[in-house]
């Protein structure tokens, strides 16, 4: 499969193909079942059990759990011409532990491809881990539109989304 291009007008068809391939290769579903644990009004931003704020201006992400900041991470957002769009909302449910781009192979992280622990939030845009060779680029604009994080942080976020469900997670991406 060619490189995932979140700007591609046919992204949904390509994602459907990726889902099928992922499910065939791993035996796991490409989408997580949602777990609704909040009561009353739906959560938004800091009222969600899991909230991540990505500040593109400083290339950092701030992770909150139950209203308390638990971590700050360096990120890489989109380069000029492939900028990461602003976003407010929940993950879309598509979540992979491994994915490999064939167009930009740039290595493999422990057998999980070059986009490990991807949590998709808008079409082909995802928050995902990066490869060992790109860890040094975190803190600078270096991606093709996604939000790259250290693979350990990608794992943490991926597992929190799986644990809490998409209804209890909010993502804010802004300049």
Q: For residue 38, report the phi and psi dihedrals to the nearest 5 degrees.
A: -90, 150
Separation CA 56–CA 6 (nearest Å) = 17
Q: Which of 43, 48, 144, 146 is catalytic?
A: 146
Separation CA 4–CA 88 (nearest Å) = 22
Q: Which of 43, 48, 128, 144 is catalytic?
A: 128
Neighbouring-strand partners of residue 65: 50, 68
Which pair of tokens denotes residue 47? 């009222």
128 is known as an active-site residue: yes
Separation CA 90–CA 6 (nearest Å) = 17
Q: Which residues of 126-136 are buried (b: 16+ CB within 10 A; e: fewer)?
A: bbbbbbeebbe
What does the DSSP 8-state code read for residue 23?
A: H
48 is known as an active-site residue: no
State the virtual CA torsion across 68, 49, 157, 102 in degrees, nearest 10: -140
Measured between its terminal Cα atoms, the distance across the chain in Å is: 32
Mind telling me the catalytic residues? 128, 146
């Amino acid at each position: 499969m060619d490189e995932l291009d979140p700007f591609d007008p046919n992204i949904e068809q390509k994602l459907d193909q990726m889902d099928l391939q992922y499910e065939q290769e791993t035996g796991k579903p490409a989408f997580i079942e949602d777990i609704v644990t909040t009561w009353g009004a739906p959560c938004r931003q800091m009222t969600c059990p899991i909230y991540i704020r990505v500040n593109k201006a400083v290339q950092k992400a701030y992770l909150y759990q139950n209203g308390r900041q638990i971590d700050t991470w360096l990120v890489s957002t989109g380069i000029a011409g492939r900028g990461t769009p602003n976003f407010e909302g929940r993950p879309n449910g598509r979540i992979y532990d491994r994915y490999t781009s064939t167009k930009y192979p740039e290595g493999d992280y422990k057998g999980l491809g070059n986009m490990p622990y991807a949590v998709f939030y808008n079409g082909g845009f995802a928050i995902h881990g990066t490869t060992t060779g790109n860890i040094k680029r975190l803190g600078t604009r270096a991606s093709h539109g996604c939000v790259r994080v250290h693979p350990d942080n990608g794992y943490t976020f991926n597992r929190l989304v799986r644990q809490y469900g998409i209804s209890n997670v909010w993502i804010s991406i802004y300049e």
